[in-house]
Structure 1
Amino acid sequence: MNKRQTRSFALISTAIAAVVFLGMTVDSHRQFPTLTNAQQITPQVTRGKDVWHEYNCINCHTLFGEGAYYAPDLTKITQLRGAPYLTAFLKDPSKFYDEQRHRRLMPNLNLSDEEIAALIAFMDWVSKVDNQGWPPRPILVTGTSIPGMDLTVAQQNATGAGNQPPAARPVSDKEDPIALGEALFRTTATPVCSACHSIAPGVNLAGPTLAGLAVRARQVIASPDYKGKAKDVESFIRESIVAPSAYLHPGDMYSASGMSFMPDTFAKSLTPEQVDQLVAYLASFQ
């Protein structure tokens, strides 16, 4: 190839690359409104974005894989946890974590109710953006990054439980049932739910994962094969705890001869308040 041919090849290749780049740019901008759900950007979503930046959430968390990577990626958080859980967590993270025992974790930002609602609206909009699978390996939000977390000091103080099981008494105005339910889920004071059930999507242990439980519960209740008595998500979860054989999760590893492998003793070993708190916590899994 002589100099003239080399020059022509370089110019033509550059022109083709430029045309392809411009075409892809135009096509991307054409799809942006659909991919980003631009029509769903409400004043509350915009306010939530301002709250996100005002409190420098990105200094710890990531969205679409962009951020500090110190704390979990929150791109799809509202698809994993519902608004009640997120609201309770943002109001007072210390009910879910104890900084002295579990190192520095989520600080209490003292957000107002309006800021919390706006922030959740923003994150819900983010969760519905078609990010086409990015980031490929996000840090999963599982409620805690500390395996086997036991009852925190804050929760012990809140319940006055000491060495007793968490939530062993009715919930007062200052005791959030979701936080107490999470503590009960992980505590060693009762049969440990987390020993058999994962809360990460797609991770099945001795029992099926509880990720997406609320969605699956609605599907099961609507199914003609369901023979239980539950009419809504909360009653389905309660039934699954106290009468686990009322509905058998598909898969030979979870039941045999019409009986669930999950113990049927929780109706006696747990107080009604504890069952209520477990239901409140598990119903937050979207």
Structure 2
Amino acid sequence: MNKRQTRSFALISTAIAVVVFLGLTVDSHRQFPKLTNADQITPQVTRGKDVWHQYNCINCHTLFGEGAYYAPDLTKISQQRGAPYLTAFLKDPSKFYDEQRHRRLMPNLNLDDEEIAGLIAFLDWVSKVDNQGWPPRPILVTGSSIPGTDLAVAQQDVSGSTPSDSRLPPGARPVSGTEDPIALGEALFRTATPVCSACHSIAPGVNLAGPTLAGLASRAKQVIASADYQGGAKDVEGFIRESIVTPSAYLHPGEMYSADGMSFMPNTYPKSLTSEQIDQLVAYLASFQ
């Protein structure tokens, strides 16, 4: 190839690349309104965005994987936690996390009700943006509520990875056969919407947004037998099903799990899961003796 041909090749290649780039740019902007749900940007969402910037939330948190990486990525936090939990948390974070146990402490920003409602609306809008699966999993920070708990196990559990078989309860260990209800329930535990493992740990003593599920069957028996229990369950399976379908039927002790008589756990599973899937999830959770 001589100099003239080389120059022509470079010019033509550059021109083609520019045309492709401009075409992709135009196509991206064409899709932005749909991908970002622009029609759902209400004045409250805009107010929440202003609160996000006013208090420099991005100095600690991240959205779409971009930010300080000091605290959790909040891209899907609205779907993972829900408005009641976020409202109570923003009013007083110290009720949910302790600096000594969790190795960090969210400051109380003293937000008023309008600011909190706006911020939650903004985060809810963010959670519904089509981000093409990024970040790939919830980026959560966890800690132990009892001395000596293996934090690595808890962090693996939250991220969706499976700890070594020897560290798992019998019901959580891999089993053969895709039709086994416990195995299917374990898969649902990590894939249902909202993801159960984003709020619940299976490691003893590790409480996240929800209480640990280690020893759930034993605790369920104690709750059913107690005089304070007002639910309708008669056995462990019934109690677990009740907790999934109507989570406010029994409120787990602790201000970080409920407020005003309502559990922070989402009550949407009866709509997002079939009755058979709920049975599978119950079978899996009931195996935690």
TM range (shorter): 0.5 to 0.7
**Distance change >3 Å, CA 214–CA 17, structure 1 → 2:** closer
CA distance in 2, matches of 1:128, 1:202: 25
Partner of 2:142: 145
**Alignment of 1:11 onto 2:11:** yes
Deviations 1:70-104 (A, max 9, x none): 00000011111110000011110000112244433
Q: Give the RMSD, CA atoms, in angstroms.
A: 3.7
**Alignment of 1:115 onto 2:115:** yes
CA distance in 1, matches of 2:113, 2:146: 29
Shift of the alpha carbon at 1:277?
A: 3.1
**Which blocks of at least 5 consecutive residues in structure 1 are unaligned?**
152-186, 188-193, 217-240, 245-259
Deviations 1:30-49 (A, max 9, x none): 00000010000000000000
**SS of residue in 2 equivalent to 1:5:** helix
Task: Check conservation: 1:49, 1:119, Cα contact below 8 A.
Answer: yes
Identity %: 68
1:145 counterpart letter in structure 2:
T
* More off after superposition, 276-285 vs 86-95: 276-285
**Distance change >3 Å, CA 211–CA 62, structure 1 → 2:** same
**Alignment of 1:68 onto 2:68:** yes
CA distance in 1, matches of 2:79, 2:33: 21
Shift of the alpha carbon at 1:150?
A: 4.7
**Distance change >3 Å, CA 36–CA 213, structure 1 → 2:** closer
**Distance change >3 Å, CA 71–CA 12, structure 1 → 2:** same
Listed as ranges, the matches of 1:239-254 within 5 Å are none
Listed as ranges, the matches of 1:85-100 within 5 Å are 85-100=85-100
Task: Check conservation: 2:62, 2:75, Cα contact below 8 A.
Answer: yes
Task: Check conservation: 2:138, 2:159, Cα contact below 8 A.
Answer: no
* More off after superposition, 276-285 vs 58-67: 276-285
CA distance in 1, matches of 2:160, 2:80: 9
1:24 counterpart letter in structure 2:
L
Partner of 1:47: 47
Listed as ranges, the matches of 1:171-190 within 5 Å are none
**SS of residue in 2 equivalent to 1:49:** helix
* More off after superposition, 263-272 vs 112-121: 263-272
**Distance change >3 Å, CA 87–CA 81, structure 1 → 2:** same
CA distance in 1, matches of 2:264, 2:193: 7
1:267 counterpart letter in structure 2:
I
1:104 counterpart letter in structure 2:
R
CA distance in 2, matches of 1:41, 1:8: 48
2:131 counterpart letter in structure 1:
N
CA distance in 1, matches of 2:193, 2:34: 28
Listed as ranges, the matches of 1:258-269 within 5 Å are 264-268=221-225
**Distance change >3 Å, CA 111–CA 40, structure 1 → 2:** same
Task: Check conservation: 2:102, 2:142, Cα contact below 8 A.
Answer: no
Deviations 1:217-267 (A, max 9, x none): xxxxxxxxxxxxxxxxxxxxxxxx9xx9xxxxxxxxxxxxxxx89853431
1:110 counterpart letter in structure 2:
N
**Distance change >3 Å, CA 92–CA 203, structure 1 → 2:** farther
Task: Check conservation: 1:91, 1:108, Cα contact below 8 A.
Answer: yes
Listed as ranges, the matches of 1:122-137 within 5 Å are 122-136=122-136
The two structures have a TM-score, normalised by structure 1, of 0.59
CA distance in 1, matches of 2:62, 2:267: 21
2:265 counterpart letter in structure 1:
A
CA distance in 2, matches of 1:87, 1:282: 10
**SS of residue in 2 equivalent to 1:277:** coil
Task: Check conservation: 1:65, 1:73, Cα contact below 8 A.
Answer: yes
Shift of the alpha carbon at 1:149?
A: 1.8
**Which blocks of at least 5 consecutive residues in structure 2 are unaligned?**
173-185, 197-212, 231-248, 269-289
Task: Check conservation: 2:52, 2:119, Cα contact below 8 A.
Answer: yes
Partner of 1:277: 252
The two structures have a TM-score, normalised by structure 2, of 0.58
